[in-house]
């Protein structure tokens, strides 16, 4: 019984250790109208990470949602290290 519980505990810890986060990281956070917004797709833990390997793990869907509607961004993703997504700022902020 102890062996089963210990094995379950070890596998639980191993599973929790494999978790990671994905996030979009712009080069800066304030843009002027018409300026190019360069975004990195990152993976890691506690916002300490590295570029996501888009050659091995491709995104299934990427969308930009706003009050005025949503737009598909998947076709705009560039598979390389960093600068994976480039958008033109259509409003300041």
Show Cβ contacts of residue 90 under 8 Å, excluding neighbours closer than 6 positions: 33, 34
The pLDDT tens digits along the chain (93 residues) read 666 566 655 556 555 555 678 888 999 999 999 999 999 999 888 878 899 888 888 888 989 898 889 999 999 999 999 899 998 888 877
Identify the pLDDT of residue 77.
92
CA distance 86 to 26: 10
Q: What is the pTM of this model?
A: 0.69
Identify the pLDDT of residue 85.
92
Could you count the other beta carbons within 10 Å of the beta carbon of residue 89? Answer: 14
Q: Any idea what the Cα angle at residue 80 is, between residues 77 and 83, rounded to 5°?
A: 65
CA atoms within 13 A on the CB side of 7: 4
Identify the pLDDT of residue 18.
59
């Amino acid at each position: 019984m102890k062996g089963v519980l210990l094995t379950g505990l070890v596998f639980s810890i191993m599973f929790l250790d494999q978790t990671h986060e994905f996030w979009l990281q712009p080069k800066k956070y304030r843009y002027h109208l018409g300026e190019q917004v360069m975004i990195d797709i990152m993976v890691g833990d506690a916002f300490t990470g590295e570029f996501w390997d888009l050659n091995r793990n491709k995104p299934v869907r990427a969308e930009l949602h706003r009050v005025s509607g949503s737009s598909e961004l998947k076709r705009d993703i560039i598979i390389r290290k960093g600068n994976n997504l480039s958008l033109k700022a259509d409003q300041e902020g």
